Amino acid sequence: MNYKNLQQQDKEVYDIIKKEETRQKNELEMIASENYVTQAVMEAMGSILTNKYSEGYPGSRYYGGNQIIDEIEILAIERAKKLFHAEHVNVQPLSGSPANASVYMAFLKPGDKVLGLKLDHGGHLSHGHSVNFSGILYNFVQYEVDSKTGRINMEEVRKIAQKEKPKMIVAGYSAYSREIEWQKFQNIADEIGSYTFADIAHTAGLIAGEQMDNPVPIFDVVSTTTHKTLRGPRGAIIMCKEKHAKKIDKAVFPGMQGGPHDHITAAKAVAFGEALKPEFKEYAKKIIINSKTLAEEFINRGYRIISDGTDNHLIVVDMTSKNTSGKETEKILERIGISVSRSTIPNDPNPPMNPSGVRFGTPAITTRGLGEKEVKQVAGWIDAAITNKEDIGVLNSIKKEVEEMCKKFPVPGLL
């Protein structure tokens, strides 16, 4: 990436960015929610569209001079509609939590009852955790994954829904590795007259790439971030049935947000354009193959994987099966140049800051071009590092091997 002007004007910031660039080049990213965007997405993000204010929507803005901005927002909307088969799309949400806040604002009043998956069972903070606005403003009741299978038991969800009669049911998760039965959620909601809300932030790219089921034609409303498997800029969108369009748009602006970030809208349009190409389906397929390969490698080495495997881009591993914790594993792997995120496991006996699990994801390494052969190699390094966590010599030599692999598979956006 060329930072010529930044280098001349502000060396302090330039040096920090270059250090991070080197880290991204030399280390493997296995955080399930991260990815590497293309140069084209970055160029759109770095464009002069950042100079504009455009509160409102295409054709109806609160500032002059927005005819051209309207073109980019309409293009992003049309591409997202095509990608997800959506009736209505709002491309202005700044990120995942603000998007979810807008969804709740559109459909609920403070105090209304909502049903969401518990955070330590794979849900998200914004799905009703008590420290989050969602849990503070709304009356969330929570469902769990089955303690034996690690999967969502739809009969249990039905029982809770029938008993609690929530106004909204939330599905779509941050640390759940299985396909979601969208239609069954909708059927339950229909029985009790609830709205259905899917947060597909994690799997949006796999859905766009037609490797996982799409809730958009089924659910009332769906949010997703654009920067995870979808491989776009940091941001989010909301998709809904046409009948909900007005209330969603009103909730995003003026309800939750001010001016949209037009340079990010342009980058979203670029990312949706990329995801509409046939190559993206291949990419999505490879992410899942890599994730399944990783799960198999761990299982063969005696690691306990929640739900015993994966249908998507992530796996959650119970590290107590290897006499370590999530936090310690995160540190050990940092030492060899692999980034992961610690994670709670269902019914975790340990606290969220030092949970039992680790969440591994394959979207970023798949973007780099790693395939099954390399994933097997990476699983071997991870296991060797955990087994030899006190042996600095072993950790240093694995780190060198990781660096060698990184050289062979450069980050596309950093060429």
Is the Cβ of residue 124 or residue 286 nearer to ligand DSN in the bound state?
124
Based on the shown chain and the rule CB under 6 A, indicate whether residue 102 belongs to the binding site for ligand DSN: no
Using CB under 6 A as the criterion, what x/- string covers residues 258-277 for binding ligand DSN? --------------------
DSSP 351-378: -TTS-SEEEEE-HHHHHHT--HHHHHHH
- Number of residues in contact with ligand DSN under rule CB under 6 A: 4
Does the annotation mark 292 as catalytic?
Answer: no
Supply the minimum distance, in Å, between the C-beta of residue 393 and ligand DSN: 33
Q: Restricting to residues 166-185, which ones interact with ligand DSN according to CB under 6 A?
A: 174
Supply the minimum distance, in Å, between the C-beta of residue 358 and ligand DSN: 12
From the list 234, 241, 250, 285, the catalytic residue is: 234
Amino acid making up residue 291: S
Based on the shown chain and the rule CB under 6 A, indicate whether residue 356 belongs to the binding site for ligand DSN: no
Amino acid making up residue 19: K
Does the annotation mark 225 as catalytic?
Answer: yes
For the chain, the first-to-last Cα distance in angstroms comes to 7
Supply the minimum distance, in Å, between the C-beta of residue 96 and ligand DSN: 5
From the list 228, 231, 268, 368, the catalytic residue is: 228
Which residue is listed with tokens 């770095």?
A: 46
Residues 6+ apart with CB under 8 A from 207: 84, 200, 213, 214, 215, 216
Does the annotation mark 367 as catalytic?
Answer: no
Does the annotation mark 173 as catalytic?
Answer: no
- Assess contact for 84 and 237: CB atoms under 8 A: no
Supply the minimum distance, in Å, between the C-beta of residue 77 and ligand DSN: 24
Does the annotation mark 234 as catalytic?
Answer: yes
Using CB under 6 A as the criterion, what x/- string covers residues 113-152 for binding ligand DSN? -----------x----------------------------
Residue 125, marked binder? yes
Based on the shown chain and the rule CB under 6 A, indicate whether residue 96 belongs to the binding site for ligand DSN: yes
Give 248-253 contacts, CB < 8 A, sequence gap 24+: 248/88, 248/90, 248/102, 248/103, 248/106, 248/221, 249/57, 249/90, 250/106, 251/102, 251/103, 251/105, 251/106, 252/90, 252/92, 252/93, 252/99, 252/102, 253/55, 253/56, 253/57, 253/92
Q: Which residue is nearest to ligand DSN (CB)?
A: 33
Residue 56, marked binder? no
Q: List the beta bridge partners of residue 315.
A: 360
Using CB under 6 A as the criterion, what x/- string covers residues 56-95 for binding ligand DSN? ----------------------------------------
Supply the minimum distance, in Å, between the C-beta of residue 174 and ligand DSN: 4
Distance CA 335, CA 329 (A): 10
Angle among Cα 360, 204, 50 to the nearest 5 degrees reads: 105
Does the annotation mark 82 as catalytic?
Answer: no
**Interface with ligand DSN (CB under 6 A), residue from 28, 29, 33, 382:** 33
From the list 21, 34, 43, 55, the catalytic residue is: 55
Residue 124, marked binder? yes
Q: What is the 3-state secondary structure (H, E, C) of 74-118?
A: HHHHHHHHHHHCCCEEECCCCCHHHHHHHHHHHHCCCCCEEEEEC
Q: Cis before residue 166, ω within 30 degrees of 0? A: no
Annotated binding site for (6S)-5,6,7,8-tetrahydrofolate: 119, 123-125, 242
Question: Which residues line the annotated binding site?
Answer: 119, 123-125, 242
Residues involved in catalysis = 53, 55, 199, 225, 228, 234
> Under the rule (CB under 6 A), what is the footprint of ligand DSN?
33, 96, 124, 174
